[in-house]
Structure formats: structure tokens, C-alpha cells
């Protein structure tokens, strides 16, 4: 069994990569609203993780019929609010 440790620095690097990806989203063609698959691809998360983020209220969304939409500006705002540049 391999044991891998994730350091605080590893998490900070990942966070910065996510913030950069949100600033310049791929294949969104400057859309204001994204569907679940686009958000999962952008954030590199699973469908279950995205569902948990909806359930716990950490990621706002709108639902029209059976389709869930996410406001790109809100996603960027959330990640900017939760980012910290401190290396403590």
C-alpha cells in the first residue's frame, strides 16, 4: 500500500490552479451560466463532489426543469473570497 502525503503547499498550488482556471475558463465561449458537466470539467471534480457543494450551499445554482445552471461570476467570486495568499 502506497502512502502519499499532501502538504499545505500542495493544497495552495491546487487552489491557485483552480483560481486561474476559473479566470480563464476553457470551452465556455464567454458564457455567463455553465451546466454541471462544464463546472465539473473546469474544477476537475466528480459529479458527487459537485452535488455535495450544492447540498451544503457552498456553490449557488439555479434549476430550470431538470437542468442545473451555475453562474460563472459567482463561482469565481467564491474562490476569490476563499483564497488566501498566506503561507502559514
Nearest to 22 by CA among 34, 10, 11: 34
- Residue range of the domain that includes 49: 9-81
Residue 86 belongs to a domain: no
How much is the average pLDDT of 21-44? Answer: 78
What was the pLDDT predicted at 77? 86
pLDDT in tens, 51-74: 999 999 999 999 999 999 999 989
3 state DSSP class of 44:
coil
Q: Where are the alpha helices (H) located in the chain, listed in sequence order?
A: 8-23, 36-43, 47-55, 72-81
Residue 38 belongs to a domain: yes
CATH number of the domain that residue 70 is part of: 1.10.10
What was the pLDDT predicted at 54? 94
What was the pLDDT predicted at 88? 46
pLDDT exceeds 80 at position 22: no
pLDDT exceeds 80 at position 32: yes
Residue 87 belongs to a domain: no
Amino acid at each position: 500500500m502506497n502512502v502519499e502525503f499532501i502538504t499545505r503547499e500542495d493544497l495552495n498550488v491546487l487552489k491557485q490552479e483552480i483560481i486561474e482556471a476559473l479566470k480563464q475558463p476553457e470551452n465556455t465561449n464567454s458564457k455567463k451560466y455553465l451546466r454541471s458537466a462544464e463546472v465539473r470539467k473546469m474544477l476537475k471534480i466528480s459529479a458527487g463532489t459537485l452535488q455535495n457543494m450544492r447540498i451544503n450551499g457552498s456553490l449557488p445554482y439555479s434549476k430550470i426543469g431538470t437542468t442545473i445552471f451555475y453562474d460563472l461570476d459567482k463561482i469565481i467570486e467564491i474562490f476569490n473570497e476563499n483564497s488566501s495568499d498566506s503561507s502559514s
